[in-house]
Chain A
């Protein structure tokens, strides 16, 4: 036997007659033929008979988890600036990690995976894998496998692998390995073998060629056009996430104590944006604020609830136990907040006039927010109304935020300002009338 720079001279640890011997020797032969040096190669293995070979390689070796070696190898290959990554896995490992193989092919990680398909999981006592053909007998399925197999090469090829081949694990197949190792991107070679200890004993006289043929597994090579190879490039000049324009104080707020404001509406109703603008407007008014949102998994339907806390002091605890102010503009929002409203013995409820008033100890204000501003801007109009009637902080602070929030913001702000003025006038008129009657 010719000594290889890639292998230690000790005998390999496989069972007599096992094709793994051939795979290992011809891997070393192919790498030598390519002019590679041992430390230019990383061999990645996982759990299985193939995985006990890495101590015999003079390359870098990484011994990982069952079925995961192709994903681990992918990370190594993409992280390396140069060098060749070779991954070994069994047919059991390929069954476990089929997703990883598909991803390797799709994203074109620069590595070669050798699937040593000996038709069963050897280290578990011999159960069939997803690659084992129907009818093949194993110690744990002596009646023969009943379920169908899949064609790994076709799956990986259809996922976009640059090079896929299936080889018969007999004779000298180093040419095929040289070809696979030479591919710049992802390549996979399935080597068809039969486990000598568990496979041949239960399927006497079986030959790999006939086995593959009967299972409809062709030997051959399948290629896809070359595509960009995934190696990481580090861009250390990415823009800072903190380069945003600071919010500068422009107004003064009257608020002295912490205020918990709950906004309830429907998905798509602009509740979250309104809450964020309110929180920003509070900062512009010299206050501290927090904002958080709650909505169902569907996001685009059902309720949309937001919590805003504003305070003159820095806010640590961001929760609202009992809200001071609740703004509700839709039935979804009302359904979500109804229970909470019933517990309020004080505070303020600002609710759209179209909704049925829930029992609550809060002071109630009803106005036609939706009718005037539409569903999308009803919450903003209600918040402007809240600021105007309570003087918590200047209405202009929120109007300014609305104006600058988006391209059409100025128009929205100006419309809302007019609507607010109409609401306020009507309210003043109503109070005057009430006063007259009294």
Chain B
């Protein structure tokens, strides 16, 4: 047993999975991620700001390295344009986003799950950005390789979403129960006579060759471009390529879908929780079952785009309780829209953790409540 924190596990896991380089600008609550990455990654640089961070990362990525950064909302906001660039250029990058209370600089040392709707709209045009979240200390070890593998195999930026409570709280933890982290496979490019940097493969992902290789010319482009990487206006090849970016994410969704489902036979209520609230939800389920209440629990790791499996699972339950540490219910909105659905209620909070008892109360209460702010 050790006393450790999620930041340490995330960075060690990413390093073992094959991340090459970390560039960072320390911002609470991502400071520990920065500190550990500087100690552990094969290479690491301190950048003067988040825009520079993402541009350097994209440069490294273009040369074939797998880069990572860590930030919180104010820093992520500065990275938005460059994340769009990485998305359009199809460059693998992992951004560990440790959420804190907003808006704006908010409260640096207060946790929150408040960035999900921002992430849904991060890419201009509404293109889906893979967002994979961490729901426990164990996830700090097992989920980062999935984020890195998704970035590399789909040639895309990926957000690894976590929160202050998970990356900064020290917890007793048994390292012996951790599975081995295997290095992810790095997709290469077959021996081709003619290479086009954005010609899609069967999975809609183009083969990757780094700039600087002496076999084939590589053109990377942040503007609308064709398969050759040449800038386009509204030509059919340019628009087809832009549309492919979206299709690529949905076509490969099953490759990066991960969730945990604990279904109880006869349960009419499903609790859905992510991030920090997932821990409270697990305790709530124990409490409820000890009281004889049948209840099921869905802990999604892949938040965006929404895997269709979630909708199938949710449709089996007349009552759904979504717990998340934000005011308006971000994931609830993503799943059910603004109008909601009969039988769906939220447990939400602002500036404080959701307690297991609050989830228990919501499950046990009768009638429909739009949402609950404690």
B56 within 8 A of A: yes
Interface segment out of the listed A73-81, A188-196, A352-360, A389-397: A73-81
Given A52-B231, A235-B42; A297-B108 close (CB under 8 Å): yes
A168 within 8 A of B: no
Given A60-B219, A232-B43, A288-B172; A65-B82 close (CB under 8 Å): yes
Q: How far is the CA of A182 from the CA of B8 in the complex (A)?
A: 43
- A290 in contact with B62 (CB, 8 Å): no
What chain A residues lie within 8 Å of B40 (beta carbons)? 238-241
- B65 in contact with A61 (CB, 8 Å): no
- B63 in contact with A79 (CB, 8 Å): yes
- B212 in contact with A80 (CB, 8 Å): yes
Of the residues A73, A99, A234, A276, contact of B52 by C-beta under 8 Å: A99
- A238 in contact with B222 (CB, 8 Å): no
Of the candidates A236, A248, A319, the one having the most CB atoms from chain B within 10 angstroms of its own CB is A319
B217 within 8 A of A: yes
- A238 in contact with B15 (CB, 8 Å): yes
Given A40-B214, A241-B11, A283-B1; A68-B55 close (CB under 8 Å): yes
Of the residues B20, B169, B217, contact of A290 by C-beta under 8 Å: B169
A242 within 8 A of B: yes
- B169 in contact with A100 (CB, 8 Å): no
Q: How far is the CA of A414 from the CA of B307 in the complex (A)?
A: 59
- A294 in contact with B109 (CB, 8 Å): yes
What chain B residues lie within 8 Å of A64 (beta carbons)? 55, 58, 85, 89, 222
Report the contact-size class of chain A (Cβ under 8 Å from the partner).
Answer: 35 or more
In chain B, residues 1-60, which have Cβ atoms closer than 8 Å to a Cβ of chain A? 1-4, 8, 11-12, 15, 20-21, 36, 39-43, 47-49, 51-52, 55-60
Q: How far is the CA of A235 from the CA of B225 in the complex (A)?
A: 36
A382 within 8 A of B: no
Q: How far is the CA of A363 from the CA of B300 in the complex (A)?
A: 43
Interface segment out of the listed A25-33, A135-143, A203-211, A310-318: A310-318
B282 within 8 A of A: yes
B185 within 8 A of A: no
- A238 in contact with B65 (CB, 8 Å): no
Residue of A nearest to B47 (CB): A103
Of the residues B43, B52, B221, contact of A63 by C-beta under 8 Å: B221
- B42 in contact with A315 (CB, 8 Å): no
In chain A, residues 232-289, which have Cβ atoms closer than 8 Å to a Cβ of chain B? 232-236, 238-242, 244, 246-249, 276, 279-280, 282-283, 287-289
- B283 in contact with A65 (CB, 8 Å): no
B322 within 8 A of A: no
Contact with A along B54-96 (1 / 0, CB 8 A): 0111111111110000000000000001100100010000000
Q: How far is the CA of A76 from the CA of B60 in the complex (A)?
A: 5
- B211 in contact with A60 (CB, 8 Å): yes
What chain B residues lie within 8 Å of A82 (beta carbons)? 212
A365 within 8 A of B: no
Given A65-B82, A292-B170; A317-B1 close (CB under 8 Å): no
Of the residues B20, B63, B283, contact of A80 by C-beta under 8 Å: B63
Q: How far is the CA of A179 from the CA of B260 in the complex (A)?
A: 60
In chain A, residues 283-335, which have Cβ atoms closer than 8 Å to a Cβ of chain B? 283, 287-292, 294-295, 297, 315-319, 321
Residue of B nearest to A77 (CB): B59
What chain B residues lie within 8 Å of A59 (beta carbons)? 217
B117 within 8 A of A: no
Given A42-B211, A247-B1, A280-B3; A241-B8 close (CB under 8 Å): yes
- B214 in contact with A39 (CB, 8 Å): yes
Q: How far is the CA of A74 from the CA of B63 in the complex (A)?
A: 11
A62 within 8 A of B: yes
Given A68-B51, A72-B58, A241-B36; A55-B231 close (CB under 8 Å): yes
Give me 13 other A-B pairs in contact (C-beta within 8 A), A103-B48, A247-B3 excluded. A59-B217, A61-B221, A62-B221, A63-B225, A65-B55, A74-B59, A79-B21, A233-B43, A241-B39, A242-B12, A289-B171, A316-B279, A321-B357
A: which residues have CB within 8 A of B?
Answer: 37-40, 42, 52, 54-55, 58-65, 68, 71-83, 99-100, 103, 232-236, 238-242, 244, 246-249, 276, 279-280, 282-283, 287-292, 294-295, 297, 315-319, 321
B: which residues have CB within 8 A of A?
Answer: 1-4, 8, 11-12, 15, 20-21, 36, 39-43, 47-49, 51-52, 55-65, 81-82, 85, 89, 108-109, 136, 165, 168-172, 175, 211-223, 225, 229-231, 279-280, 282-283, 352-353, 355-357
- What are 7 A-B pairs at a CB distance below 8 A? A62-B219, A71-B56, A72-B59, A72-B62, A75-B59, A75-B62, A236-B42
